[in-house]
A and B are shown apart, each in its own frame.
Chain A
């Protein structure tokens, strides 16, 4: 009994020490301030880039139909000029975050405004946009403007020599989740045994100067795939370990620069290069900025306290961040093929999928059917994204049916001839062409991914072409 009690006490003591080290331990706010500045700056550039490339019109203004997310079907884009204004405002908010001017309000507005944009259309989903939403949401609650900010300069009362460790560790945790789950997702046959989709992507870059010819070599694809998986799985460990941190960050820099050059992944490399600096000791910016005073641990500081409520909220957030991507490792479905559990799971760079969809409306009462052009609803970009995702195919089918019903065709049914090819596999049907997507769906409406390519090849046969009534 005494041993048990001693064990409990020892465990409790360890837990206390761990919680102090991870949550309450006072640390220099310098790295948090640097994170705020770099994140705000990159985001401001990203918003300006979005406007400059004409994406506001292309993604949000021009489409007549948007693929909304299930619980947020009520979200709609603003009218044209207001949408442009919205992005301009996001850029201003990001700059305010960078310089720490009305920091919390700016971070909150940026988080809400950016997340609103991301919820408008599923076709614009990118993992790093999701990461931006999460990081900006966290920033709202972090005291990142205590140092080197306009707020600190204008009101010394917000300045403080130390911040609790959780404010930095939660950012580290968030980035660790991205890397580790990205690594776990790469432990699959396509990635490890067939070096796909990297094999396709690298070979397509064979005209890159100097290294181009090498990129089309299959062994290079295997080397990239295996080292990419190992990198994602191990980089957090090496960033956390003091002895390897500098070299690890150098590889972060080189890795993301290389992926930025080879693949069209936009601002993602810059976000990760800036964000992973958070793994350095909290005072790293002071060492870089000669002349600034390094706050030593010997200086008298007020020990930041972490309440049980805050600790519980942090624990809940971390648990959610682990559970959400974990759902994509649930067996029973091919997540890259069906799209189920794929989003919000850090399944990064795993898919090369091209699809083809045509919608066929049918009126059983009039014994007629006809193909429905999609360009009145969606843009070419949306069409490309839809052709990869059964749920998006279904969403447009329902919209088409709604429109036809509004025209008095009460009994209309909408089917889709949808085909896709995943990671170099033979093309195969994506959804069952016999299923009326505008009605109740049977459980088998998504055609499972065939495992045997020879079977797929011989079984592939397009459905009978629909007789077309030319209206």
Chain B
């Protein structure tokens, strides 16, 4: 019986370890992954998601302006319904596009003027009651609480009136000021959304990919902000409020228009698209290249969170009263997604976290 010497044993162990490592490497090679560089991922996000999102939002704003003009020209139940529908489409387009809060939208100081929440009903009513003629200069001077989608929501969906009363508020000489205000708000939305779109088309989208790791950091932080602030905290807030005798619609984003669930879903879908680059290359592909199991887990968790929010199936403030568990489940799935993003994605992509909303509680 031949005994093993120390050098032989060391060589045998080393050979075994090399074999295991080589086997793992060959398994990875057989998975058929497509190489996606950081640059390609960023370019895919800019050209495949962000630019089309801003284009869609600008288009929806134009449709909203047309609908508001029609309402102002002939206030009827039909024109009001049409304006409300156009508002809803613009709002959801914005919620899908709003994930990336940097670039032209920040540089041009447009973000808060498109939608500021919580909405300031008193500010809107003050403008309606004021004497100064409503023109573009006046709108520019107003604070974020009295402009943008939220202000228009107050005018179109005033919770204290039924549709007939809302139509009346736009009609006749007494409705002149409200008509002017609504048209000016819609016009400003068109201008601002076009301004942002032009900046993206004018070279920002093309240069985005060159931002490298800095832009990866921005994307991941903004996706996290959308998941945490735009989705999870919104759900959390409604869950916390469910004990109140009556949930004030002003405290819930989209409650006036009955779009709270659709808005939250749009934010989540927008966050996913911003991360994954939609159908094209995105950070999910880049992540898959670095850590395939983590990429699979993130994708699965996104799907679970989206399915859980879809399952709410109605305004969240109403569903939470009848079936709180379904809202709690959606919150928990989004929270799990947030934690996965903050640990696995941050760790794999080498992201420096700058966003956190926990201190805002």
By a beta-carbon cutoff of 8 Å, the part of chain A in contact with chain B is 192-195, 199-201, 203-204, 206-207, 213, 216, 218-219, 222, 226, 352-356, 358, 371, 373-375, 380, 384, 419-421, 424, 426-427, 453, 457, 460-462, 464-465, 467-468, 470
B1 at the interface (CB under 8 A from A): no
* Docked CA distance A235–B255 (Å): 67
Beyond known contacts A199-B290, A218-B25: 7 more, CB 8 A cutoff: A194-B24, A207-B37, A216-B35, A356-B338, A461-B336, A468-B240, A470-B361
- In the bound complex, do residue B359 and residue A354 qualify as a contact, i.e. CB atoms below 8 Å apart? no
- In the bound complex, do residue A371 and residue B358 qualify as a contact, i.e. CB atoms below 8 Å apart? yes
Are A468 and B236 CB-contacts (below 8 A) given A219-B25, A424-B347, A453-B293? yes
- In the bound complex, do residue B37 and residue A213 qualify as a contact, i.e. CB atoms below 8 Å apart? yes
Query: Per a CB cutoff under 8 Å, which of B328, B348, B361 touches A424?
Result: B348
- In the bound complex, do residue B38 and residue A201 qualify as a contact, i.e. CB atoms below 8 Å apart? no
Q: What per-residue 1/0 map shows which CB atoms of B1-31 lie under 8 Å from chain A?
A: 0000000000000000110110011001100
* Docked CA distance A355–B341 (Å): 10
- In the bound complex, do residue B21 and residue A195 qualify as a contact, i.e. CB atoms below 8 Å apart? yes
- In the bound complex, do residue B28 and residue A427 qualify as a contact, i.e. CB atoms below 8 Å apart? no
- In the bound complex, do residue B293 and residue A204 qualify as a contact, i.e. CB atoms below 8 Å apart? no
* Docked CA distance A226–B297 (Å): 29
Closest B residue to A373 by beta carbon equals B359
- In the bound complex, do residue A200 and residue B38 qualify as a contact, i.e. CB atoms below 8 Å apart? no
Q: Which stretch (B180-188, B276-284, B349-357) binds chain A?
A: B349-357
Closest A residue to B216 by beta carbon equals A204
Q: What per-residue 1/0 map shows which CB atoms of B280-294 lie under 8 Å from chain A?
A: 000000000111011
- In the bound complex, do residue A465 and residue B236 qualify as a contact, i.e. CB atoms below 8 Å apart? yes
User: Which 3 residue pairs are nearest across A and B when measured between Cβ atoms?
Assistant: A204-B350, A354-B347, A421-B343
- In the bound complex, do residue A204 and residue B297 qualify as a contact, i.e. CB atoms below 8 Å apart? no
Closest B residue to A216 by beta carbon equals B289
B121 at the interface (CB under 8 A from A): no
Are A462 and B335 CB-contacts (below 8 A) given A354-B347, A424-B291? yes
- In the bound complex, do residue B344 and residue A192 qualify as a contact, i.e. CB atoms below 8 Å apart? no
* Docked CA distance A352–B348 (Å): 8
Please name 7 pairs of A and B residues whose Cβ atoms are closer than 8 Å in the assembled complex, sorted by A. A193-B24, A213-B37, A371-B361, A374-B358, A424-B348, A465-B335, A468-B240
Are A207 and B39 CB-contacts (below 8 A) given A424-B291, A457-B297, A468-B361? yes
Q: What per-residue 1/0 map shows which CB atoms of B293-312 lie under 8 Å from chain A?
A: 11001000000000000000
- In the bound complex, do residue B28 and residue A218 qualify as a contact, i.e. CB atoms below 8 Å apart? yes
B113 at the interface (CB under 8 A from A): no
Q: What per-residue 1/0 map shows which CB atoms of B192-218 lie under 8 Å from chain A?
A: 000000000000000000001100000
- In the bound complex, do residue A356 and residue B339 qualify as a contact, i.e. CB atoms below 8 Å apart? yes
B154 at the interface (CB under 8 A from A): no
- In the bound complex, do residue A465 and residue B331 qualify as a contact, i.e. CB atoms below 8 Å apart? yes
List the A side residues contacting B358 at CB < 8 Å: 358, 371, 373-374
* Docked CA distance A457–B295 (Å): 13
Closest B residue to A358 by beta carbon equals B358
* Docked CA distance A465–B350 (Å): 28
Query: Per a CB cutoff under 8 Å, which of B18, B297, B335, B346 touches A354?
Result: B346
* Docked CA distance A421–B347 (Å): 8
B102 at the interface (CB under 8 A from A): no
List the B side residues contacting A374 at CB < 8 Å: 358-359
- In the bound complex, do residue B349 and residue A419 qualify as a contact, i.e. CB atoms below 8 Å apart? no
List the B side residues contacting A375 at CB < 8 Å: 359
List the A side residues contacting B340 at CB < 8 Å: 426-427
- In the bound complex, do residue A427 and residue B331 qualify as a contact, i.e. CB atoms below 8 Å apart? no
Q: How far is the CB of A48 from chain B (nearest CB, A)?
A: 25
Q: How far is the CB of A468 from chain B (nearest CB, A)?
A: 6
- In the bound complex, do residue A222 and residue B21 qualify as a contact, i.e. CB atoms below 8 Å apart? yes
B342 at the interface (CB under 8 A from A): yes
